[in-house]
Amino acid sequence: MPTKTIGVLTSGGDSPGMNAALRAVVRTGIFHGNKIFGIKQGYEGMIDGDIIELTLSSVSNIIKYGGTSILTARCEDFFTKEGRSKAYDNLKKLGIDSLIVIGGDGSFRGLHELINEFDIQGIGVPGTIDNDLYGTDYTIGFDTAVNTALEAIDKIRDTATSHSRLFIVEVMGRDSGYIGLYTGISGGAEEILIPETDSDIENLCNRLDAGHRRGKKSSIIVVSEGDEAGNAFDIKKKIETLVDWDIRISVLGHQQRGGSPTAFDRVLASRLGYEAILAVMNGENEKMIGLGHNTIDLTPLEETWTRKKGIDESYIKMAEILAT
């Protein structure tokens, strides 16, 4: 296989496991005789020319860390033709002919534009806690984020039970309910509100009160920040006069984006980073490397955001029955 000069970047919101993916890209790339450059702060570093060559030891001992050692950014300038043109010039100066972008849909849209305007090859690696990309069962960082949120829910349950309270716990997920769904199921939440399903507030209140009457000592509603009924504060306003519970709110926020990646995320990131290099060397272009039924899949970049990764609504029904 012909060797390449490959630029790698992490872009958009960071996610635990990005470092493991970077390590896999660098180590696999060098193993196969490629030259690997790290582009700092996502597309910002591409535009500013903040690019360094990475060696085997550049990625030593990073597998266990959250965040991203080459930094990340959400870069507005890259969504202008001028910004992309500047970025491409910087890639050419270093002879970079291929890119591996570790990020979410915004990052993939940027890569798609660049590939269509200039002579550059690109492969996406799904790195976002939201798990909202079509073409992969799991994105890097999702499992860690869920485990972080779950740890918080378990603690909240202790105090909720001691005080006989109802907690509304808000988790991340602007447009996607995956974190809410998995956290809610694993934490035994009484109610799960996610953007993919309609929230019936009246029924929810009836169920919560029925639980109270039956002797439940606590209840937890997990709500995704992007739920169509609103965030935790909106939900509290909607239900406080309708339920017989003392209500508290907990917004988990950015802690879900940090922390040491779980073994699952490290393995996933290692596999996807490793396969991204093979895809580049095999001449694949404008595709995302993903995992479907535990098998490596390549999906056209554009489909990763134009096609919707659905949520299996039977999970919600199951959660309701299990939390009765």
Q: Which stretch binds ligand F6P (CB under 6 A): 62-70, 125-133, 190-198, 285-293?
A: 125-133
> CB 174 → ligand F6P: shortest distance, Å?
4
For 223-260, give the DSSP string.
Answer: EETT-TT--HHHHHHHHTTTSSSEEEEEE-GGGGG-SP
> CB 74 → ligand F6P: shortest distance, Å?
6
Q: Does 128 bind ligand F6P (CB under 6 A)?
A: yes
Q: Which stretch binds ligand F6P (CB under 6 A): 83-91, 127-135, 156-164, 230-238?
A: 127-135
Q: Does 265 bind ligand F6P (CB under 6 A)?
A: no
Is residue 133 within 8 Å of 109, Cβ to Cβ? no
Is residue 236 within 8 Å of 205, Cβ to Cβ? no
Q: Does 17 bind ligand F6P (CB under 6 A)?
A: no
Site string for ligand F6P, 185-224 (x = CB under 6 A): ----------------------------------------
Is residue 129 within 8 Å of 179, Cβ to Cβ? yes
Q: Does 174 bind ligand F6P (CB under 6 A)?
A: yes
Residue 135 in tokens: 């073409």
Check 105, 130, 143, 265 and give the catalytic one. 130
- Size of site (CB under 6 A) for ligand F6P: 11
Q: Does 13 bind ligand F6P (CB under 6 A)?
A: yes
Q: How far apart are CA 174 and CA 228, in angstroms?
A: 10
Q: Is 97 a catalytic residue?
A: no
For 47-100, give the secondary structure using H, E and C: HHCCEEECCHHHHCCCCCCCCCCCCCCCCCHHHCHHHHHHHHHHHHHCCCCEEE
Catalytically annotated residues: 130
